Amino acid sequence: DTGVSQNPRHKITKRGQNVTFRCDPISEHNRLYWYRQTLGQGPEFLTYFQNEAQLEKSRLLSDRFSAERPKGSFSTLEIQRTEQGDSAMYLCASSGTGNSPLHFGNGTRLTVT
Amino acid sequence: LAKTTQPISMDSYEGQEVNITCSHNNIATNDYITWYQQFPSQGPRFIIQGYKTKVTNEVASLFIPADRKSSTLSLPRVSLSDTAVYYCLVAFSGGYQKVTFGIGTKLQVIP
C-alpha cells in the first residue's frame, strides 16, 4: 500500500491559464474523490468516481472544472481559465466499497496570481 | 446528510487525555461515524470509525451512546505531535458520496 499520490504538490499559475492535477489512488480502491480546501476550512466535496464513472458532482464544480478517471485508475482534475478564487489545496482521496474510510493524498496547492 | 457540530478549538497539556465530542442529532440508521486528523499541508488521515458503543484502536477510542446522537473521540496521553485539526464525519454505510467536512476541532497541545 503506497498510499494516494498527487502531483504536482505545488502549482503557481497566472490567472486565465489552464492547470491539470493528477491523482493516483490506492490500486485496489474503486472509489475516488476530489475535494478542495481553503485556509481554515474543512475539505469541500467536488466530485466522486466509482471506477471510471463520475457519479456525483458538487455545485461547486463550475463548468471550468472537469475531472476524468480513464480506465478506473488514475484521475485528473483540470481547471480552465483559472481565477484567483481557485487558489486552494486540491485533495484527492480513494476508498474501497461499503463504509471503507477515505485515504487522502497530501494534495496539490494551487496559487493563482 | 447528517450535520455535525464540534468545538472549534481545544487546548490540552502534554500527557493528558483529550476528549472531543461531536453532535450529530439527525444521524440515520445506516450512518457510520468516522474521525480524521489533519496536519498543516497534509491531507486528512483516518483515525477511527464506529457504529455504536465503543471502538478502540492503537491511537484512539471512540465512544458512541445508545441514541448515537453524539460521539466522543478520546486521545490518551496526548503529545505535542497530536496538535492538529480533528474532523468528525457521519456518512451512509453504502459509501462516502458527497461527504462534507465541517471546520473541525483545532487541538493545541501545550508543553
Mean pLDDT by 10 residues, chain B (111 residues): 87 97 91 94 94 94 96 96 95 67 94 94
Q: Inter-chain contact A98–B93, Cβ cutoff 8 Å?
A: yes
CA dist., res. B98 & res. A45, Å (int)? 6
Phi-psi group of B41: left, alpha or beta (phi > 0 → left; psi -120 to 50 → alpha; rest → beta): left
> B interface mutation test: which of A6, A49, A90, A102 has the most B CBs within 10 A?
A102
DSSP-H helix ranges across A1-113 = none
Task: Please tell me the predicted confidence (pLDDT) of residue B95.
Answer: 62
Rg (CA), chain A: 13
Predicted pLDDT of residue A22: 98
Residue appearing with cell numbers 465530542 = B21
Of B32, B44, B103, the CB nearest to A99: B32
> Are the beta carbons of B100 and A91 closer than 8 angstroms?
no
List the grid coordinates of B89.
464525519
The answer to whether B24 and B3 are in contact (CB under 8 A) is yes
User: Given this model, what pLDDT does residue A100 score?
Assistant: 85
At residue A1, the pLDDT reads 53
What is the C-alpha to C-alpha distance for residues B52 and A21, in angstroms, rounded to an integer? 38
Give the E-state strand segments of chain A in sequence order.
Answer: 5-7, 10-13, 19-24, 31-37, 44-50, 53-57, 65-68, 75-79, 88-95, 103-104, 108-112
Residues of chain A with pLDDT under 50: none
Residue among A99, A104, A110, A111 with most chain B CBs within 10 A, to mutate = A99
